[in-house]
Amino acid sequence: MLQTMLGRVKFKGIMTKWPVQKQTADQEDVTEYRKLMFLHKLMSLQSGSVSRGIFIRKLILFVNDRSRITLGFIPDVCQILFK
């Protein structure tokens, strides 16, 4: 049943014909703002929340060994916070 539901979902915008362009400063600011808002949502969850627990575990892994994790949400948010 789950596969049939996922089969009906259309992911618009993931695959495009257009070449990827470099973001302008305004677009980067909006992206950073959205990442910070998502971080706020994660931190506003209850302490027993699965999503928050996963985020905190991944954050601890990132802080303990930065050389292994270089891409993703957590390195981006840490970079924004340390600006």
Give residue-wise pLDDT tens across range 48-57: 999 999 999 9
Q: Are 45 and 52 in contact (CB under 8 A)?
A: yes
- At 17 the pLDDT is 52
- What type of residue sits at position 50? V
Q: Are 52 and 43 in contact (CB under 8 A)?
A: yes
- Tokens standing for 58? 């991944």
Query: Can you tell me the distance from the alpha carbon of 71 to that of 83, in angstroms, rounded to the nearest whole number?
Result: 17
Model's pTM, two decimal places? 0.64
- What type of residue sits at position 27? Q
**Extents of the domains making up the chain:** 47-83
C-alpha atoms less than 13 angstroms from C-alpha of 4 in its C-beta half-sphere: 1
- Tokens standing for 57? 């575990």
28-72 residue pLDDT tens:
888 899 999 999 999 999 989 999 999 999 999 888 887 777 888
